[in-house]
Amino acid sequence: MESSRLLIEGGRRLTGEITVHGAKNSVLPILAATLLCGGVSSIHNCPGLSDAFAAMRILRSLGCEISREGSTVTVNSADADGDVVSDGLMHEMRSSIVFLGAILGRVGRCQLSFPGGCELGPRPIDLHLEALRRLGVKITEYHGILDCTAGVRPASADITLSLPSVGATENIMLYSALGSGETVIRNAAREPEISDLAGYLIKCGAEISGQGTSTLVINGVPELHGCEYSVMPDRIEAATYMGAAAITNGELMLKGVRPSDMYSCMSVFSEMGCGVYPYDDKIFISARKPISAVRTVRTMPYPGFPTDCQPIVMAVLTKSTGTSVIVENIFENRFMAAPELARMGANIKAEGKVAVIEGVKKLYGAPVRAYDLRAGAALVVAALGAEGQTQISNIHYIDRGYESIETALSEVGANIKRV
């Protein structure tokens, strides 16, 4: 189904202020976690994203009452007794797998369809399932359906993840928060969004320590209660607007951010020759000089350079003076933007995990297509720095992670509209 498109007339220098929204990757697990508290939670700084709305639909289908006023979403999970996430809802949002740990923790049973592959290549959940089995969960898989039933929890479980999966760490935290027993997660993901989920659960009465380190300890408690919580700022949205400033030789003040979550991104933009000035909850980026090529950018789990920012940085580097290399270590299929950027005149050779970007003097507007969320955002960034008009289709991907991107960018001088 073809929906709206973004029309961008490039070449305008962006200047002004943008206030960054709440983090997509934080709000999804936190919304899932509201199931566990069995009461009313008010979640502030909730971004208006299609993925967040999909999470709310899942909560409703499980029996929660939900209301939304501005960026505050109130969830009453007192009567939530559902244990099935329908196939349709699972397909709306791949990350709905994070509901598995929460539903199991709440009602002791959960049935949902296998998330399967996605735009970024296969998205296995073996680590999630292996860990839940260690926690006594019985799991059967048939015809693409996962049927899970909580069993006897061990008094203590020591789980070492073979890689620091964000989703697996979240599912283990969610399942272990309620009940009895101590769960230790080693080689846990250290992403700030994990600490944000822990922050919400702790405010609801959970006992969790070690967040932000690679060893998390969760002591199950008999019950949790609702609370008020404010979602952390979206570091990927912030990095996208840094990319928009860089490629237009602009100057932007990003407000409502947490610079301490963004050192690896800020250092790449500094290496490109941008002035990057973090201050309290703001980052000022000034890109008055031509963009320089960078040494190799390698995506890594946090605190390394985030895979979600990789396509954005790739877009900016297409207009740099020199040759840059990107090594993508997290996802198999994450150079989806490259062929579309090539339509705009970029010179990128991508093979396997490595992309070599030869900077060009100019990009030119062209009809292009978003094939995933961040590849779509990369096309927006490239279009802002291109000569002439770019038409981006498939923008429902972009709406999954950016709340009205065209409004934020128009307010700082971009010529962008949704048609």
Count, residues in the chain? 419
193's tokens: 């969004």
- When the beta carbons of 233 and 365 are compared against ligand UD1, the nearer one is 233
Q: How many CB atoms lie within 10 A of CB 158?
A: 13
Q: Which of 229, 331, 335, 397 binds ligand UD1 (CB under 6 A)?
A: 331
Tell me the torsion sign for CA atoms 395, 400, 405, 406. positive
How far apart are CB 85 and ligand UD1 at their closest, in Å?
15
Query: Which of 118, 101, 114 is CA-nearest to residue 33?
Result: 101
Cα separation, 125 vs 104, in Å, equals: 16
How far apart are CB 122 and ligand UD1 at their closest, in Å?
6
33 lies in the site for ligand UD1, by CB under 6 A: no
Contact 318, 382 (CB under 8 A): yes
Q: Which of 11, 16, 108, 124 binds ligand UD1 (CB under 6 A)?
A: 124
Applying CB under 6 A, the span of 162-170, 212-220, 241-249, 392-400 interacting with ligand UD1 comes to 162-170
Q: How far is CA 326 from CA 235, 351, 356, in A?
A: 20, 11, 7
3 state SS for 253-284: EEECCCHHHCHHHHHHHHHCCCEEEEECCEEE
Q: How many CB atoms lie within 10 A of CB 296?
A: 9
165 lies in the site for ligand UD1, by CB under 6 A: yes
328 lies in the site for ligand UD1, by CB under 6 A: no
305 lies in the site for ligand UD1, by CB under 6 A: no
How far apart are CB 194 and ligand UD1 at their closest, in Å?
9
Cα separation, 377 vs 358, in Å, equals: 20
79 lies in the site for ligand UD1, by CB under 6 A: no
320 lies in the site for ligand UD1, by CB under 6 A: no
Cα separation, 103 vs 100, in Å, equals: 5
Q: 46, 118, 148, 309: which one is catalytic?
A: 118
Q: Which of residues 376-405 bind ligand UD1 (CB under 6 A)?
A: none
253's tokens: 């003040």
Applying CB under 6 A, the span of 14-22, 121-129, 251-259, 270-278 interacting with ligand UD1 comes to 121-129
308 lies in the site for ligand UD1, by CB under 6 A: yes
- When the beta carbons of 83 and 234 are compared against ligand UD1, the nearer one is 234
- When the beta carbons of 200 and 331 are compared against ligand UD1, the nearer one is 331
56 lies in the site for ligand UD1, by CB under 6 A: no
Residue 372 region, left (φ>0) first, then alpha (ψ -120 to 50), else beta?
beta
Q: Which of 5, 21, 106, 128 binds ligand UD1 (CB under 6 A)?
A: 128
- When the beta carbons of 208 and 291 are compared against ligand UD1, the nearer one is 208
How far apart are CB 237 and ligand UD1 at their closest, in Å?
12
How far apart are CB 111 and ligand UD1 at their closest, in Å?
19
28 lies in the site for ligand UD1, by CB under 6 A: yes
Active site residue 118: yes
Find all residues with CB under 8 Å of 69, minimum gap 6, and list them: none
240 lies in the site for ligand UD1, by CB under 6 A: no
Applying CB under 6 A, the span of 145-153, 164-172, 207-215, 405-413 interacting with ligand UD1 comes to 164-172
- When the beta carbons of 203 and 353 are compared against ligand UD1, the nearer one is 353
Find all residues with CB under 8 Å of 47, minimum gap 6, and list them: 21, 22, 23, 24, 27, 71, 231, 234, 403
The reply to whether omega before 303 is within 30° of 0 (cis) is: yes
How far apart are CB 12 and ligand UD1 at their closest, in Å?
29
Q: Cα 125–129–131 angle (5° rounding)?
A: 120
- When the beta carbons of 166 and 414 are compared against ligand UD1, the nearer one is 166
Cα separation, 188 vs 206, in Å, equals: 18
Q: Which of 13, 60, 109, 123 binds ligand UD1 (CB under 6 A)?
A: 123
**SS3 of the chain: helix, strand, coil, percent, to 5:** 35, 30, 35
303 lies in the site for ligand UD1, by CB under 6 A: no
For binding to ligand UD1 (CB under 6 A), which residues are involved? Answer: 25, 28, 95, 123-128, 163, 165-168, 189, 193, 307-308, 330-331
Active site residues: 118
